[in-house]
Structure 1
Amino acid sequence: MTTGAFDGPVPEEDPSGNRVLDLLDRAINAQTPLVRKNITRARQRKAEATPAQVIRNLERVYVSTLTGTGAAVGGTAAAPGVGTGVALALSAGETLSSLELSALFALSIAEVHAVPIDEIERRRTIVMGIMLGGSGSATITKVAERTGQHWGRQIVAKVPVATLRQINSVLGRNFVTKYGTKQGIIVLGRIAPFGIGAVIGGGANAAMAAMAVKAARRAFGPPPESWPPEDDSAPLSS
């Protein structure tokens, strides 16, 4: 056992925790190339959409999609004839998809705010910080030894990568504890009697999405008033 600077005793080897973080990295790596395409789609819905309008659209799509995914898996997993093993497998697959949706949302919001996401450590900080909500924000500002609003702009965009690694080490332990445990509760809820599982799955995902939206607003602050000049001459997707 080792002692974490902010979390008390932490196991040196935690295979289940490593699996959670591996899933997170898979989600981030899979979704990073889609960020600009995601923003392009949001802008195409309204040709003259401002950054604020695009962000609202990204928030709405994220909440509705994540909620629908949770409800669908909850209903299917609890359907008559579906065994517990199959139900757990369905929920495990949905866990990865919810991570991917959350990673795409968080990184897309960062891109609209022109916060760099060119390095994996910056992407990890953004995604974990937003998914952890208020505790993520507190951890980031404490480890970075900086104060002030909007850590997404003031810290992630400006501190050295070495500092971000320290931040991510602490965020990772919190992420495994809070997100992993929360997912475990949701998975068990989804294999409840038919109908109840759908309500639990959809409701839990809706609450998680709402928390992430609130955390993203706190992380980045008010949207830019206009798009950067280069966006007018270069497409957002490649």
Structure 2
Amino acid sequence: MATDASDGSVPEEASRGQRVLTLLDKAIDVQSPLVRKNIARARQRNPDATPAEVIRSLERMYVSALTGSGAAVGGTAAAPGVGTGVALALSAGETLSCLELSALFALSVAEVHGIPLAEVERRRTIVMGIMLGGSGNSTITKVAGTTGKHWGRQIVAKVPVETLRQINKVLGPHFITKYGTKQGIIVLGRVAPFGIGAVIGGGANAALASLAVRAGRRAFGTPPTSWAA
């Protein structure tokens, strides 16, 4: 039976999906100029740290920041007296914060590895691929028609921009689905007893961050042994 498009559900889904991708592009645009400052912050305690040590520091900073953000929003949304509208607004704001933290992490790790990301399409592929975890890895290598490890180094840094556009078109719907689910998990904190919402939000973000960290290691492989001149 044909789908009744008159209820507006299809356009609404498309609109929500486009908002997620728009937020992603905004996050990448805002965070790209901050990559080197982020790496410098990771090196503050030990200016002589190796690239591998700096990446481990970036991973810890990212997991800690993302977990704290999710716990704060989940707990606030679940607080007594907070209405549904406020909870949704908090969740929308936390989605952008999550995207910004994740974009900064992914682009910072790429920078430490010396991966050139001059074009926005390369930055999109890196960020979406890492945030999608294992599914991002398999999708990128399949669309690119290649096999092997370390897609961040072998594919993103070398394939033509047109190929990356095709990869990003495939990654986009997966990314939209993942973040629609994530926002729903955070909003669940609003109906949970106070305190449990913080656990839900923090736990969801901690799991997401851990997946991204592992995906980053797969994407780039072993860090350089020394810093480029």
Q: Could you say which residue in structure 2 is the equivalent of 1:213?
A: 213
Q: Could you say which residue in structure 2 is the equivalent of 1:27?
A: 27
TM alignment of 1:196-235, pairs within 5 A: 196-229=196-229
Relative distance call for 1:191 and 1:120 in structure 2 (3 A) is farther
**Matches of 1:208 and 1:25 in 2, distance apart?**
19
**Matches of 1:80 and 1:215 in 2, distance apart?**
38
**Matches of 1:180 and 1:82 in 2, distance apart?**
22
Q: Could you say which residue in structure 2 is the equivalent of 1:3?
A: none
Structure 1 stretches of 4+ with a deviation exceeding 4 A read none
**Matches of 2:70 and 2:149 in 1, distance apart?**
32
Query: Once the two structures are superposed, what CA deviation does each residue of 1:180-221 show, in whole Å capped at 9, x if it has no partner?
Result: 223222322344221110000000100000000000000000
Residue 83 (1) aligns with residue 88 (2): no
TM alignment of 1:93-172, pairs within 5 A: 93-172=93-172
- Identify unmatched segments of 5+ residues in structure 2: 1-9
How well do the aligned residues superpose, as a CA RMSD in angstroms? 1.3
Asked if structure 2 preserves the Cα contact closer than 8 Å seen for 1:74 and 1:191, the reply is: no
Asked if structure 1 preserves the Cα contact closer than 8 Å seen for 2:78 and 2:189, the reply is: no
The AA in structure 2 aligned to 1:121 is: E
**Matches of 2:72 and 2:133 in 1, distance apart?**
25
TM alignment of 1:48-87, pairs within 5 A: 48-87=48-87
**Matches of 1:191 and 1:89 in 2, distance apart?**
15
**Secondary structure of 1:148 counterpart:** coil
Q: State the shift of 1:100 in Å.
A: 0.3
Q: Could you say which residue in structure 1 is the equivalent of 2:4?
A: none
Asked if structure 2 preserves the Cα contact closer than 8 Å seen for 1:73 and 1:94, the reply is: yes
Aligned residues: 219
**Matches of 1:131 and 1:197 in 2, distance apart?**
23
Q: Which range is displaced more, 81-90 or 164-173? A: 81-90
**Matches of 1:182 and 1:46 in 2, distance apart?**
35
Residue 175 (1) aligns with residue 175 (2): yes
**Matches of 1:47 and 1:14 in 2, distance apart?**
47
**Matches of 1:94 and 1:192 in 2, distance apart?**
18
Asked if structure 1 preserves the Cα contact closer than 8 Å seen for 2:91 and 2:183, the reply is: no
**Matches of 2:102 and 2:194 in 1, distance apart?**
27
Query: Once the two structures are superposed, what CA deviation does each residue of 1:96-147 show, in whole Å capped at 9, x if it has no partner?
Result: 0000000000000000000112110000000000000000000000000011
**Secondary structure of 1:110 counterpart:** helix
**Matches of 2:185 and 2:82 in 1, distance apart?**
19
Q: Could you say which residue in structure 1 is the equivalent of 2:16?
A: 16
TM-score, normalising length from structure 2?
0.92
**Matches of 2:59 and 2:70 in 1, distance apart?**
17
